[in-house]
Amino acid sequence: MEQKISEVAGSFKAELNNVKDETGLEAIRIKYFSRNGLFSKLFEDFKNLPKDQKPKYGKLLNKTKAEAQKEFDLLKNKINSRKKQSQKFVDLSLPGRKKTVGSQHLISQTIKKISSVFKGLGFSVYTGPEIESDENNFEALNFPPDHPARDMQDTFFINDNFLLRTHTSPVQIRLMRETNPPIRAIIPGKVYRNEAISAKSYCLFHQIEGLYVDTNVTFAELKSTLVYFAKNIYGNDVKYRFRSSFFPFTEPSAEVDVWWQPPGKEGKWLEILGCGMVDPNVLQNVGIDPEKYTGYAFGMGVERIAMLKYGLSDIRILFDNDKRFLTQF
């Protein structure tokens, strides 16, 4: 029995001297002090000794284990102390670590830029729900029942009465019903169209619409406002044009194009927004007297504005969340 105790004590000291970290310390604890450890096995063997030998070897075994436990605890405290010191240590000679911070998505940056232009002209910013009623999305905006935009190919219908809004114009309806003129507002937000995804179209995109309703509002004011906007976004030398168009909720209506000249390629006119004078039927639908008030409205796709401004050829890259692309902006 004395030889077994001596062998365990010797191997314990030898292994303890080679321990450098908490992992090695835990291995020692399991091997020697756990329920199935070597000291526990010695106590099992001790039970089988004759009674006359138990006092002698019991005292030796308890002393050996106590000394081993003391040495183990001393090393444990030393390792823990060393760990705390290393955590507090700061090497001032090391170069500084660059802090990585996030940035706004290109779409958010474009919305912010567009909004700042119109806020500078006195427009307030309003938002509304993305799930809308058929009444607000179509009927109040003078869409006849057989208008193609009501077809399932264009619109995500939830049921017969509600849908994912196809433009932010429903917020204009809500605003005109809740607020008395004068009204001067822009409405940014997501819109949804049931369209095939391609380089130029997506089922989800962002729109910013504008509305101004007051007495004696003219098309000339609308034109000067949009020219000011185009110059702020694309520069003072931007080439632009207004073309006659048709929208159910404005009359007369127009589309605004800018000249796009990509490097090394042939230039062409590209549409950036639609606009027009608010149709008297729309004003009547929301309880505003069309004999007293007039107004203009406009709407633009944020992705289209961003693509033209930054020379992007594929709308899908704005939704891919590719860090290599996003970090460029």
279 lies in the same domain as 151: yes
192 lies in the same domain as 221: yes
Task: Give Cα 194 to chain centroid, integer Å.
Answer: 23
- CB-CB contact of 212 with 296 (8 Å): yes
Number of domains in the chain: 2
Buried b (16+ CB within 10 A) or exposed e, 102-127: eeeebbeebbeebeebbeeeebeebe
Domain boundary among 30, 60, 88: 88
Task: Give Cα 75 to chain centroid, integer Å.
Answer: 49
8 lies in the same domain as 111: no
Burial of 274 (0-12, 13-18, 19+ CB in 10 A): buried
Buried b (16+ CB within 10 A) or exposed e, 12-26: beeebeebeeeeebe
> Nearest-CA neighbor of 127 among 208, 182, 192, 204?
208
Domain boundary among 88, 119, 153: 88
Q: Tokens 């567009």 map to which residue?
A: 114
**Strand 124-125, strand 204-214: pairing:** unpaired
143 lies in the same domain as 63: no
3-state helix, strand, coil in the chain (%, to 5): 45, 20, 35
142 lies in the same domain as 201: yes
- Would 43 be classed as within a structural domain? yes
pTM above 0.95? Answer: no
Partners of residue 276 on adjacent β-strands: 253, 297
Q: What is the pLDDT along the chain (329 residues), one digit of tens a residue?
A: 777 778 878 887 888 888 888 888 888 888 888 888 888 887 787 777 788 887 877 787 788 888 888 888 888 888 888 777 666 667 778 888 787 777 788 999 999 999 999 999 999 999 999 999 989 999 899 888 777 766 655 888 899 889 999 999 999 999 999 999 999 999 999 999 888 888 777 888 899 999 999 999 999 999 999 999 999 998 899 899 999 999 989 999 999 999 887 777 788 888 889 999 999 999 999 999 999 999 999 999 999 888 888 888 888 888 888 888 888 88
* Residue 239, domain CATH: 3.30.930.10
Q: Tokens 């040495």 map to which residue?
A: 71
- Would 101 be classed as within a structural domain? no
- Would 93 be classed as within a structural domain? no
The conformational region for residue 39 under phi > 0 = left, psi -120 to 50 = alpha, else beta, is: alpha
Domain boundary among 88, 121, 155: 88
> Which residues lie below 8 Å from residue 312, measured CB to CB, with a gap of 6+?
306, 318
- Would 95 be classed as within a structural domain? no
> Nearest-CA neighbor of 250 among 216, 220, 223, 274?
274
- Would 144 be classed as within a structural domain? yes
67 lies in the same domain as 142: no
- Would 97 be classed as within a structural domain? no
176 lies in the same domain as 264: yes
275 lies in the same domain as 237: yes
- CB-CB contact of 188 with 208 (8 Å): yes
81 lies in the same domain as 111: no
63 lies in the same domain as 151: no
- Would 74 be classed as within a structural domain? yes
158 lies in the same domain as 280: yes
83 lies in the same domain as 130: no
- Would 24 be classed as within a structural domain? yes
Tell me which residue range forms the domain holding 251: 106-326
Q: Could you tell me the two tokens for 249?
A: 């909720």
